[in-house]
Structure 1
């Protein structure tokens, strides 16, 4: 793996993608491309998409912050992009980065151009691109919202899906055939390594594989495609999910998807029987399952439910070195 000829594409959104991009930087590739979900409808992003009709900028902003240059000016940009206004007026809760992206998008007529300009200002270590060229809605089939647990209801909106007290069975995008960003497809096709996740499974990870052109690109690319599994289930959408169920759900939403490997944190310490089930689940997508120490630990060694960028980079480096 040499920086002169190594490209990585990272698919995801939110805090999970942020940590993966920090890990990608540790690999010192020639190119990092962040491919970001665009279904967010909460907080500042939700307000902006409703008022302006543009792609929600929040996850895009976080990716830009992760990739800002590592010096004093870059640190200042990172802080500025993430800064949220206080108070109780119209600006309360908006982040500066969201407003910059929204303003440039309105002025230029292109979210991608806006992101590329901010990347230039921040001397970004990579490029940030929306997976699709239109804001998307997420709709889920959820059980357990009624007295009868067999009743399944539809819940619409990323925030509603992420916070539902019910059990999410399946999600879909609205529209079902969104306009893919061709530059995101090119980034996947031309990469040497592609990562998917970690993150909110139904609202940050699975939306990528609901875009047919993205799945096609993942299956066509000669890159090693690695899915980074979450360290633990998330309250709400994946409450009670096992590691095996995370894999099965991903496959159920993209029946044709083929990946090379899943990274699981060795802190889960599965039994030999559980390892056999996980291996079979991974093999259903053509993949292996690999165990690494990738968590941030406290003083006692317990997982803090956050991926350690240096450890994750080491795992990705090792996996890439084993490519066929």
Structure 2
């Protein structure tokens, strides 16, 4: 692992996304670099996060909580406590303790970003966790009836409803469309040596960060190595039957060509996923075009083959970084 001035090790890495994909990535990277920043979507409006968002006017804490748990060096009991979800109790059922903890910290400190910083300090987080924006953004999608390409698209409101629409997603967008990027997140992107997009839900975790214009513009301006990590399995209601190239095509449609340097794709698809999951392994076909190159690696978690193996993924990313000519 490369050393930097001040005794720090590893490249300055920024990871953008949300959900299980981002937390898996962070678990693999946190032992391989001392300078890791997660930039997390705040478009979630379902479950416990959605309730707290509506009741307290709070940004949704769920994805940020998952990142805190992934990067925490605290006792296992503490991280288990953060992920504990109440199974009963009027007003408590369905809530994750960690979400309530962050909500309480926001009330005590007076703002959401201070709450995340304090939670990170208490739990000895290795790295930084930042929202992509502090504005109350909502995710919308234009969806077309599946199998009927001539049908007019209809609009679905809310991140939690998009996959349930069970149609073909044409595009997603944020309201308000002019939401300002969080300044610390923008600075992190501009100073990064490697930026990782994904893995995670394509339309509801990865893209919402990049629909914030300031974040998207910083990504384009950054001289870092930019890598998109394609999902290993399709997601019901979002990316049914998608190949790796379909994922990239959707990103290009929203962000323009040349949004990254490399596409990292899982090559090991010899798994039969449970029929009830509604998912299939993403076929690794992806033509090299639009200024990026495609890298195939065995990235799958053999125990949970619809997810990445955290350590395989981290090692593959660092190999890409090591082979990349980093601007001075």
Flag whether TM exceeds 0.5 (same fold): yes
Superposed, 1:216-235 pairs within 5 Å as 216-235=217-236
In the alignment, which residue of structure 1 is the partner of 2:247? 246
Q: Do the aligned residues in 2 keep the contact of 1:196 with 1:228 (CA within 8 Å)?
A: yes
In the alignment, which residue of structure 2 is the partner of 1:108? 109
Q: Aligned-pair RMSD on alpha carbons? A: 1.9
Q: Distance in 1 between matches of 2:225 and 2:148?
A: 46
Superposed, 1:15-30 pairs within 5 Å as 15-27=20-32, 29-30=33-34
Q: How many residues align?
A: 308
Superposed, 1:1-324 pairs within 5 Å as 1-2=1-2, 4=8, 6-27=11-32, 29-69=33-73, 73-144=74-145, 150-255=151-256, 258-268=259-269, 278-280=286-288, 283-284=289-290, 286-298=291-303, 304-324=305-325
Q: Distance in 1 between matches of 2:239 and 2:81?
A: 32
Q: Distance in 1 between matches of 2:146 and 2:56?
A: 33
**Which runs of 5 or more residues in structure 2 are unaligned?**
271-282
Relative to structure 1, is the Cα distance of residues 210 and 39 closer, same or farther in structure 2, using a 3 angstrom cutoff? same
Q: Residue 153 of structure 1: CA displacement?
A: 0.4
Q: Do the aligned residues in 2 keep the contact of 1:54 with 1:134 (CA within 8 Å)?
A: no
Query: TM-score under structure 2 normalisation?
Result: 0.89
Q: Distance in 2 between matches of 1:252 and 1:39?
A: 20
Q: Residue 130 of structure 1: CA displacement?
A: 0.5
Relative to structure 1, is the Cα distance of residues 259 and 145 closer, same or farther in structure 2, using a 3 angstrom cutoff? closer
Q: Distance in 2 between matches of 1:74 and 1:256?
A: 44
Write the deviation string for residues 232-286 of structure 1: whole angstroms up to 9, x where unpaired.
21001111222111000001001265211110001248xxxx98x7233xx31x2
Write the deviation string for residues 34-75 of structure 1: whole angstroms up to 9, x where unpaired.
100000000000000011111100000000000000xxx431
Q: Do the aligned residues in 1 keep the contact of 2:180 with 2:214 (CA within 8 Å)?
A: no
Write the deviation string for residues 179-212 of structure 1: whole angstroms up to 9, x where unpaired.
2100011111111111110111100011122111
Q: Distance in 1 between matches of 2:243 and 2:167?
A: 16
In the alignment, which residue of structure 1 is the partner of 2:273? none
Q: Distance in 1 between matches of 2:254 and 2:86?
A: 38
Q: Do the aligned residues in 2 keep the contact of 1:162 with 1:202 (CA within 8 Å)?
A: no
Relative to structure 1, is the Cα distance of residues 249 and 103 closer, same or farther in structure 2, using a 3 angstrom cutoff? same
Relative to structure 1, is the Cα distance of residues 148 and 2 closer, same or farther in structure 2, using a 3 angstrom cutoff? closer
Q: Residue 26 of structure 1: CA displacement?
A: 3.4
Relative to structure 1, is the Cα distance of residues 288 and 87 closer, same or farther in structure 2, using a 3 angstrom cutoff? same
Q: Do the aligned residues in 2 keep the contact of 1:80 with 1:97 (CA within 8 Å)?
A: yes
Q: Distance in 1 between matches of 2:150 and 2:159?
A: 22
Q: Distance in 2 between matches of 1:128 and 1:157?
A: 23
**Which runs of 5 or more residues in structure 1 are unaligned?**
none
In the alignment, which residue of structure 1 is the partner of 2:279? none
